[in-house]
Structure 1
Amino acid sequence: MMRPLALLLTVVLLALLACATPARAAQDDVYLFTSFRGNGEDGLRYAYSTDGYHWKEVAGTFLKPSVGSGILRDPSLARGPDGRFHLVWTTAWKGDNGFGHAVSDDLIHWGPQQFVPAMEHEPTTVNVWAPELFYDAPHRRFIILWASTIPGRFPDHLEESTNNHRMYYATTSDFQEFAPTKLYLDPDFSVIDCTIVARDDDYVLVLKDNTRPQRNLRVAFGESPLGPWRDISKPFTAKLTEGPTVLRVGDAWLIYYDSYGDGSYGAMRTRDFRTFTDVSDEIEVPAGHKHGTICPITHDELNALLAASPAAAAQDDHDATQAKESP
């Protein structure tokens, strides 16, 4: 019989690995998709799925933004080694030199919000967009990626100097102390919205080419989650697509993305990140859903979320009123 301590460590490790790599739910798990609406003023939203294709909204918002310029866009969620959930997000279109961060035990109650001034050492930084969390289990650290523009730092090519992004990163084990910010990716074009995929023997980086007229998604390959990245592919989505997130369903990977050009949501299916099949007509996402990340959670965690939503509270109030009015 497994000793209690060993059993506890096994459970924590399995939970950690579930969100440390792109989402792949265990048999008893479901998928949670972080989201926002509009410009991000109202806060963190969720959708959930039991099959990875069909998503239902969890009614209401679960974290109101209060740091930086006061918006919450591009929410990225990951589970840490202690089983707690970490969230990072974009706090402003322009002007902020960092990103938001908060921690939760249950996805409902969030601790104090933290502003992480990751680009304060670069005073001309225009923006800090779409921070993305990845837990690097072998090194027991979080990697946070984001896109920033530093005017004049790189050749402009087709983009203005104030819209010429490169990817940067920092690492931390506790979100109190951070390693110095470093350049993560310079593919010789404006790049944003990167997400890391851990495979058995290597890593894949899904990225957005943000140059005109492309504005679409590509992939690259590497031996480490920090790169270097090689063999950047041709675009595999239409123009005006962004915000990729990746999950494993069966023996295939699904890459979800925001098709903001036509206001829809899309998905590509791949088994090797070399060939892609458009499965956008096979997915269902809530109206107004905007891009976040996907993470497996347990049914108990989902049931608690659903019970905590404003819709559930309204139904409870309705049922209580009906009970009082009954003869």
Structure 2
Amino acid sequence: MRYGLWIVALLFLSSCSKEVYLFTSFHEPATDGLRYLYSYDGYNWKGIDGTFLKPEIGVQKVMRDPSIAVGPDGIYHLVWTTSWRGDKGFGYASSTDLIHWSEQKMINVMQHEPETVNVWAPEVFYDKESQQFIIIWASAIPFRFPKGTEEENNNHRMYYTLTRDFKTFSEARLFLDPGFSVIDAVIVPREKEDYVLVLKDNTRANRNLKVAFSKELTSGYAGVSAPFSGNLTEGPSVVKIKDNWLIYYDAYGEKRYAAYKTSDFRTFKEVSAEISIPEGHKHGTIFKSSEKVLRGLKSKANEKN
């Protein structure tokens, strides 16, 4: 009898520690709040019913582009876009279980730039090497950069801030100026090699996805590539599956979610036919969690129903 109980206990502990992929999400018009998708293989995704954090801050009080990174202490840190225009920062909250969240705060990273039009699509990453978090985002500051083909209010560049505790933040600095309007950039660390930046060229003639590379976390992303996606694509999210990376993105011109696979970020193969994404899913980030956390999310969703 005791042997049987040990087997049950071991099976339970194994299921609790089993890894699962989670994908943050939102649905238009972005007023309902944070949603999740989950997957065991990184290709086939299912939605979890309901929302788990309703936006309460910002001019428009929306939650767009939710991004989550997990710290070494197991705490989940969430940042998001709070308004299309008018805010000088992004939203922030933290959680230990992805259900119960801290008080929502506005992190006013661009307050020192009064002409800032917007703060879009903040992406948070934990950098193991420097043991700190970096948050990058896109902002337009009229007449700050050569105009090119974009209107001044749409001439974006990428900025960043660093933090270890989400209480104090470094002064916002320019992260990327590729010579054109850029948004929706995500950092992909390649261990002991370099950092890859997947970005959207937001100029009207292009509006497609490209990559750049750097040996440094916060600068040096040179040699922006030719586009690897078609036009009217945005919101890349990257996850490593075995020896390849999957780049999920919103092919909004075709009203579908799609994906490319790459082993080196130089050659890309479209694998959209191999993935499944629930209808209505919009731009988020992918991170690993546990079966225990997933069970908690599903249980909470069932309570709401």
Which band: TM-score by shorter chain?
A: over 0.9
- Cα deviation 1:165-207 (Å, max 9, x = unaligned): 0000011111111111100000000000110001121110000
Which residue identity does 1:58 align to in structure 2? I
C-alpha distance in 1 between matches for 2:205 and 2:281: 25
Percent sequence identity is: 57
Partner of 1:167: 158
* Cα displacement string for residues 7-49 of structure 1 (whole angstroms, at most 9, x for unaligned residues): xxxxxxxxxxxxxxxxxxxx92010000000021000000000
Pick the aligned partner of 1:241 from 203, 210, 233.
233
Report the Cα offset of residue 314 of structure 1: 5.8
Work out whether 1:182 is the aligned partner of 2:182.
Answer: no
Q: Give me the whole-angstrom Cα distance separating, in 1, the residues matched to 2:121 and 2:176.
A: 15
Cα distance in 2 for partners of 1:196, 1:152 equals 27
1:68 equivalent in alignment to 2:66: no
CA distance in 2, matches of 1:188, 1:231: 11
Partner of 2:249: 257
Q: Does 1:193 align with 2:223?
A: no
SS at 1:306 equivalent: helix
Deviations 1:279-326 (CA, angstroms, capped at 9, x unpaired): 0111111110001000010111111111111xx1266xxxxxxxxxxx
Is 1:298 aligned to 2:282, yes or no?
no
Query: 1:184-241: per-residue Cα shift (whole Å, max 9, x none)?
Result: 0000000001100011211100000000110010000110221211221100001111
Rounded to whole Å, the distance in 2 between the matches of 1:45 and 1:139 is: 30
Letter aligned with residue 59 of structure 1: D
Between the two proteins, the alignment pairs up a number of residues equal to: 287
Unaligned stretches of 5+ residues in structure 2: 1-16
Alpha-carbon distance in 1 for matches of 2:304, 2:81:
31
Pick from 68, 79, 86 the counterpart of residue 77 of structure 1: 68
Aligned equivalent of 2:264? 272
**What is the CA deviation profile of residues 77-129 of structure 1, one whole-angstrom value per residue up to 9, with x for unaligned ones?**
00012110000000000011100000000001101001001100000100000
Query: How far off its partner does 1:50 sit?
Result: 0.5
Distance change in 2, residues 1:96/1:314 (3 Å) = closer
- TM-score, with normalisation over the residues of structure 2? 0.92
The correspondence for 1:129, drawn from 108, 111, 120, is 120
Q: Does the aligned pair in 1 maintain the 2:244–2:262 contact within 8 Å?
A: yes
Task: Please show how residues 84-123 of structure 1 align to structure 2 within 5 Å.
Answer: 84-123=75-114
Against the structure 1 CA distance between its residues 314 and 90, is the aligned structure 2 distance closer, same or farther, given a 3 Å change threshold?
A: closer
| 1:124-157, Cα deviation, whole Å (9 max, x unpaired) | 1000000000111222211000000000000111
Q: Residue 21 of structure 1 aligns with which residue?
A: none
Q: Which amino acid aligns with 1:171?
A: L
Q: Following the alignment from structure 1 to structure 2, what is the Cα–Cα distance between the partners of residues 230 and 149?
A: 21
Provide structure 1 residue ranges, at least 5 long, that are not aligned to the other structure. 1-26, 316-327
Compare the two structures and name the one with the higher helix fraction.
1
Question: Structure 1, residues 43-86: CA drift from partner, whole Å, max 9, x if none?
Answer: 00000001101100000000000111210000000001211000
The answer to whether the 8 Å contact 2:50/2:304 transfers is no
Distance 1:152 1:283, change over 3 A: same
Task: Say if 2:209 is the partner of 1:217.
Answer: yes
RMSD: 1.0
C-alpha separation between the residues in 2 aligned to 1:32 and 1:112? 22
SS of the residue corresponding to residue 129 of structure 2 reads helix
Partner of 1:232: 224
Q: CA offsets per residue over residues 254-302 of structure 1, 9 Å max, x none?
A: 0000111121001000000000000011111111000100001011111
Q: Separation in 2 of the partners of 1:230 and 1:118? A: 25
- Counterpart residue identity of residue 228, structure 1: G
Aligned counterparts of 1:227 and 1:183: Cα–Cα separation in 2: 9
- Runs of 4+ aligned residues of structure 1 deviating over 3 Å after TM superposition are none
Give the counterpart letter for 2:103 in structure 1. Answer: P
Instruction: Indicate whether 1:289 and 2:281 are aligned.
Output: yes
Question: Aligned partners of 1:131 and 1:211: how far apart in 2?
Answer: 19
Q: Under a length normalisation based on structure 1, what TM-score does the superposition of the two structures give?
A: 0.86
Matched residue, 2:7: none
Q: 2: CA distance between counterparts of 1:160 and 1:77?
A: 31
